[in-house]
Structure 1
Amino acid sequence: MTQWPQGYGLHILQEVDSTLNEAARIAPTAQGPVWILAHHQTAARGRRGRAWANPKGNLAATLLLRPEGNPERAALRSFVAALALFDACVAVTGRASGFSLKWPNDVLLNGGKLAGILLESTGHGHGVSHLAIGIGVNLSEAPLPQAVEPGAVRPVSLLSEMGVDVTPEDFLTELAAAYSKYETQFVTYGFEPIRTAWLDRAARLGEVITARTATSESVGTFETVDAGGNLVLNTAKGRVSIPAADVFF
């Protein structure tokens, strides 16, 4: 049986506005890394401030860290979290087939969106004082298709796609254990092993994809993720490196 990782705290809440908001509230007094799990969120959010649907029985959790280094290095932990999510999914289902990682921060199952990651940080000067890694996983129920933006991949759940019924607490134990392992690897050896492992699990690597920002759109072959975590596309105008965007297949 998987054990809770040593050195990581755990707060379980029946209801909260958002686990990310709770992380911000406890950050000033938190001693070491801590996971926050909520059974119900009243104001969950996703990337770019979008609402995040969180049906009952799904995972809503945030990991609060006090990382060393600059904001760019802290942001690479989205890849650390993605690998941990992948491993947790394999642990609870018993197989890796069907799972893949979508840049910059989604986990896919059979081509549909199973999980999302959102990072928020506070800092001073050129450092980061606290980093909150928000994670949502559709364990028992997927949001309705109309709840996602047009063109986005369809939402799926672990239960509907694989028939696996797992509680948020049990899934979080696997996730926390996997995250602890990858965090140690990241701190010890840097981003390169994380980058390599992420690319081994990447969705649509070598295929043509579309990356959209608020002001531009790039279409090209997904070549790699570079040392800074940027998406690298080979487009009609040459290779481009994209630090942040929404990706569409």
Structure 2
Amino acid sequence: MPLSANWPDGVGRSVLPQVDSTNAEAARRATQFAGPEWILTLRQTAGRGRRGRAWHDPAGNFAASYLFRPEMPPAEAALYSFVTALALQEALTAATGRADSFALKWPNDVLLHGAKLAGILLESAGPYLTIGIGVNLVGHPDADAGALRPVSLLGETGLRVVPEEFLDLLAPAFARWQTQFTTYGFAPIRSAWLALAARLGETITARTVTDTHEGTFEGINESGALILRGPRGARAIPAADVFF
């Protein structure tokens, strides 16, 4: 399939009819890394989310991974979750023309009308980083108890976007935000992400493996940690599940 006119230079593009997981496929390809590459599948049979959770996506949804070698320490490369969220918001806005409909939920979700539309999963293997992305373009899984309600782009907007077309929007958007990140650091990424952050200034709950914290969502710090202000002051939480 020919590349779109806006496809980023030097980036590969593979479209597979079916695969177990695009992140797993990226890990296999990393052993013979030939350069950065987007891997899209039209059917994913064993997708996964954060903390090993299953990621269900029916045919027609977007399931892709970006495999590359970031030239930075692992802690800094982890900030690519925010870079990816911004690229997703840009691509979704380009697809729909509805910028105000989307928001970003810490640490790795994109919301549509306040409900979950897309998720991001970063996995590293040696010097390589894989960014897995799932977007509910046409369908969504059943809601889990206590979790944010899932929605699809088609169901909420009536717009049907096919995965290949969405990748042609996402890849150049990601390349632009990646250049911003590698050129100017995390500060402009942090500012742009906060401008789109869901529930900023409101009371939220953050649950870690061992604790539950409730407080006012004040932002994120320079390492991407959630800043939550509770009765005992502000606390930086590097990893948690957030509930509204």
TM over 0.5: yes
Distance in 1, Cα, partners of 2:167 & 2:241: 27
Query: What TM-score do you get using the length of structure 2 for normalisation?
Result: 0.97
Distance in 2, Cα, partners of 1:215 & 1:168: 38
Distance in 2, Cα, partners of 1:2 & 1:13: 21
Distance in 2, Cα, partners of 1:196 & 1:28: 36
Aligned partner of 2:18: which letter?
Answer: E
In the alignment, what sits opposite 1:51?
54
Structure-to-structure mapping, 1:34-49, within 5 angstroms: 34-49=37-52
Deviation string, structure 1 residues 125-166 (Cα, Å, up to 9, x no partner): xxxx00000000000111122xx3x21110001001011100
The alpha-carbon deviation at position 206 of structure 1 amounts to 0.3
Between the aligned residues of both structures, percent identity stands at: 60
Distance in 2, Cα, partners of 1:228 & 1:163: 38
Aligned partner of 1:38: which letter?
Answer: T
- The answer to whether residue 91 in structure 2 is matched with residue 88 in structure 1 is yes
Where structure 2 has 5 or more consecutive residues not aligned to the other structure, the ranges are none
In the alignment, what sits opposite 1:126?
none
In the alignment, what sits opposite 1:103?
106
- The answer to whether residue 132 in structure 2 is matched with residue 134 in structure 1 is yes
Q: Is residue 2–residue 174 contact of structure 1 (8 Å, CA) maintained in 2?
A: no
Where structure 1 has 5 or more consecutive residues not aligned to the other structure, the ranges are 124-128
Alignment CA distance shift 1:2-1:201 (3 Å): farther
In the alignment, what sits opposite 2:122?
119
Distance in 1, Cα, partners of 2:146 & 2:99: 26
The alpha-carbon deviation at position 76 of structure 1 amounts to 0.2
Structure-to-structure mapping, 1:65-80, within 5 angstroms: 65-80=68-83
- What is the DSSP-based 3-state SS (H/G/I as helix, E as strand, rest coil) of the residue aligned with 2:161? coil
The 4+ residue runs of structure 1 with deviation greater than 2 A are: none
Root mean square deviation of aligned Cα: 1.0
Q: Is residue 102–residue 202 contact of structure 1 (8 Å, CA) maintained in 2?
A: yes
Query: What TM-score do you get using the length of structure 1 for normalisation?
Result: 0.95
Distance in 1, Cα, partners of 2:180 & 2:79: 13
Q: Is residue 15–residue 38 contact of structure 1 (8 Å, CA) maintained in 2?
A: yes
Distance in 1, Cα, partners of 2:216 & 2:195: 16
In the alignment, what sits opposite 1:151?
146
Distance in 2, Cα, partners of 1:33 & 1:218: 39
In the alignment, what sits opposite 1:248?
243
- What is the DSSP-based 3-state SS (H/G/I as helix, E as strand, rest coil) of the residue aligned with 2:54? coil
In the alignment, what sits opposite 2:180?
185
Aligned partner of 2:82: which letter?
Answer: F
Distance in 1, Cα, partners of 2:31 & 2:56: 28
- The answer to whether residue 226 in structure 2 is matched with residue 228 in structure 1 is no
Q: Is residue 213–residue 246 contact of structure 1 (8 Å, CA) maintained in 2?
A: yes
In the alignment, what sits opposite 2:25?
22
